[in-house]
């Protein structure tokens, strides 16, 4: 049988032309069943990536943790200042290194996990320094920003289109949160030197968000921007 598009002679194993992809068909010729050149659907097991890099990086993280703890315990006989270093390194590890232990790390799960690590570290600082700002300031701020960023990651993961809407919405949500954040700072730490600063980042974020939504709605404007800013 010959390919009706490119004219190449097809072996009886070919259901589609290997050169142009057109389905092999002829109204009068019935293709005989021949053994295919290679068996279908029998894929070799892929080689797992080596874990050497992860092991080296983990060691590099563990080394300062161990040294810091040892020094602190030697000098003070208890965990005094080393907890901040250990916490910071643990947080950095959870955010930057942990995903690389997985073959296909789930972006949404690891985004949420990163903010949980930040929340935990901030909670530790609050407790270790005897502060009372965690519940009234740190938790709402980290929680809100974490929710917005995780929602962006989830939408980007699920939806193939509409990135301008997603980022525009995220900027609007963050902008709207700015006055609340200022209020939380005032309520928690008192006596601010300058009231109303949140209007500036709020205006910038809302403008940016509105512009992205406008571009998402207006195709000619979007194309114009693409022409101006392509890389």
Chosen residue from 27, 37, 59, 191 binding other proteins by CB under 8 A: 37
26 lines the binding site for other proteins (CB under 8 A): no
Q: How far is the CB of 9 from other proteins (least distance, A)?
A: 4
> Which one of 16, 51, 106, 224 is in contact with other proteins (CB under 8 A)?
16
Q: Which contiguous run of DSSP H or E holds residue 201? A: helix 199-217
Max Cα separation, the chain?
92
Residue of the chain from 10, 166, 174, 178 that contacts other proteins (CB under 8 A): 10
Query: 12 or 154, CB closer to other proteins?
Result: 12
Which listed range, 6-14, 60-68, 94-102, 180-188, lies at the site for other proteins (CB under 8 A)? 6-14
- How many Å apart are CA 221 and CA 227, to the nearest integer? 10
If one asks whether residue 39 binds other proteins (CB under 8 A), the answer comes out as yes
> In terms of CB distance, is 16 or 26 closer to other proteins?
16
Q: Which is nearer to other proteins, 6 or 135 (CB)?
A: 6
Q: Which long-range contacts does 131-134 make (Cβ < 8 Å, 24+ apart)?
A: 133/188, 133/189
30 interacts with other proteins by CB under 8 A: no
| By the rule CB under 8 A, 32 interacts with other proteins | no
Q: Which stretch, 2-10, 134-142, 152-160, 190-198, contacts other proteins (CB under 8 A)?
A: 2-10
> Any contact of residue 22 with other proteins (CB under 8 A)?
no
Q: How far lies 116's CA from each of 34, 55, 119, 141, 177, in Å?
A: 58, 24, 5, 12, 20
What angle do the packed helices 107-128 and 82-92 form, to 10 degrees?
170
Helices (H), 129-198: 139-158, 163-189
Q: Which residue from 6, 29, 67, 199 is in contact with other proteins, where contact means CB under 8 A?
A: 6
* Shortest distance in whole angstroms from residue 20 CB to other proteins: 6
SS3 for 35-100 is: CCCCCCCCCCCCCCCCCHHHHHHHHHHHHHHHHHHHHHHHHHCCCCCHHHHHHHHHHHHHHHHHHH
Is 130 near other proteins (CB under 8 A)? no
- Identify residues 41-100 at the interface with other proteins (CB under 8 A): 41-44, 46-47, 49-50
Closest CA to 68 of 80, 85, 56, 87: 85
**Residues contributing to the site for other proteins (CB under 8 A):** 6-11, 13-21, 35-44, 46-47, 49-50
């Amino acid at each position: 049988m010959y390919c009706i598009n490119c004219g190449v002679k097809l072996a009886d194993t070919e259901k589609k032309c290997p050169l142009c992809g057109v389905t092999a068909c002829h109204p009068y010729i019935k293709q005989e069943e021949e053994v295919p050149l290679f068996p279908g659907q029998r894929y070799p097991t892929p080689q797992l990536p080596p874990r050497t890099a992860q092991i080296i990086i983990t060691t590099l993280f563990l080394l300062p943790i161990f040294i810091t703890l040892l020094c602190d315990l030697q000098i003070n006989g208890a965990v005094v200042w080393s907890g901040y270093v250990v916490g910071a390194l643990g947080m950095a590890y959870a955010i930057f290194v942990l995903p690389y232990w997985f073959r296909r790390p789930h972006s949404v799960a690891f985004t949420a996990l990163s903010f949980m690590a930040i929340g935990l570290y901030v909670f530790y600082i609050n407790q270790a320094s005897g502060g009372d700002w965690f519940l009234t300031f740190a938790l709402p701020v980290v929680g809100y920003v974490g929710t917005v960023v995780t929602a962006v990651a989830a939408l980007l993961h699920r939806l193939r289109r509409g990135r301008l809407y997603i980022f525009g919405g995220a900027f609007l949500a963050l902008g709207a949160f700015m006055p609340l954040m200022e209020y939380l700072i005032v309520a928690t730490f008192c006596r601010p030197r300058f009231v109303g600063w949140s209007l500036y980042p709020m205006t910038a974020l809302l403008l940016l968000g509105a512009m992205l939504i406008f571009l998402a709605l207006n195709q000619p404007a979007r194309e114009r921007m693409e022409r101006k800013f392509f890389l």
